Amino acid sequence: DIQMTQSPSSLSASVGDRVTITCRASQDISNHVAWFQQKPGKAPKSLIYAASSLQSGVPSKFSGSGSGTDFTLTISSLQPEDFATYYCQQFNGYSFTFGQGTKLEVK
C-alpha cells in the first residue's frame, strides 16, 4: 500500500500569514493527489485535485503543487475561517490513502 506522510502534524499561524503543508508519497503517484479541509463536526471539503487544480468555488488563496512523490498545499493570507485540519489524499489506480492530517491553529 502507498503511504502518505504529511507534515507538520500541527501548525500555529496568525491571520494574514502564508503557510505550507507537505505530503510525501512512499512511491511515485504522478499527480494523483488531492487536498481537503475539515472543520470540527463537518464533512471534509475538497480544495485541490490532480495536485494543482482548484475545485470549483474554492478561493485562489489555496494552491497545490508537486508531482511524483512530493506535494505541497499553500494557503496565502490566512483568514479566521481557514483555521481547520487539512488532509492530503492519494490514488494509486486501485485504492485511496490519506495523510495523517495537519491541524492549523491560531497563534
Query: Which residues here bind other proteins, judged by CB under 8 A?
Result: 1, 32, 34, 36, 38, 42-46, 49-50, 55, 87, 89, 91, 94-101
- The grid coordinates listed for 35 are 487536498
CB of 36 to other proteins, least distance (A): 8
DSSP summary character for residue 55: P
Cα dist. 4→8, 46, 61, 77 in Å? 12, 17, 24, 26
Cα dist. 79→15, 61, 91, 96 in Å? 5, 10, 30, 30
